[in-house]
Amino acid sequence: MSVHDRIREMVENNDVVLFMKGTKTMPQCGFSSRVASVLNYMGVEYTDVNVLADEEIRQGIKEYSDWPTIPQLYVKGEFVGGCDIVTEMTLSGELDELFDKKGVAYDKDAANKIREANS
């Protein structure tokens, strides 16, 4: 199975996937930590893929999404973006809207607390 097939399988078979450096409980870069922290705080169930553990995935995900950086967030098969985009979407409420539209469970109060703390 090619690396793109492996990535496609992960993205299609999991509602929310975060390709990151490290894991959701032990991020190994600040950008991955920020996105994982948002998802964790909002109570989103997601699959974390540690790109540092697999060089093929680390390079392949950049080609798959045509996005040069990690972390990368996927929701119901759709590429959302990296750290800056996820941060902006969280603060604007767009991430809530995406989760609502895609039927992904999350803690709305936690999302509001993030926005309150950053306003």
Question: What domains, with CATH codes, occur in the chain?
Answer: 3-117 (3.40.30.10)
Say what the pTM is.
Answer: 0.96
Rounded to the nearest 10 degrees, the angle between the axes of helix 83-92 and helix 108-117 is: 100
pLDDT of 51-60, one tens digit each?
A: 999 999 999 9
Kindly report the average pLDDT of the chain as a whole number.
Answer: 97
CB count, 10 Å around CB of 24? 18
Q: Is 29 annotated as a binding residue?
A: yes
pLDDT of 23 = 97
Taking residues 13-28, what's their average pLDDT?
Answer: 97
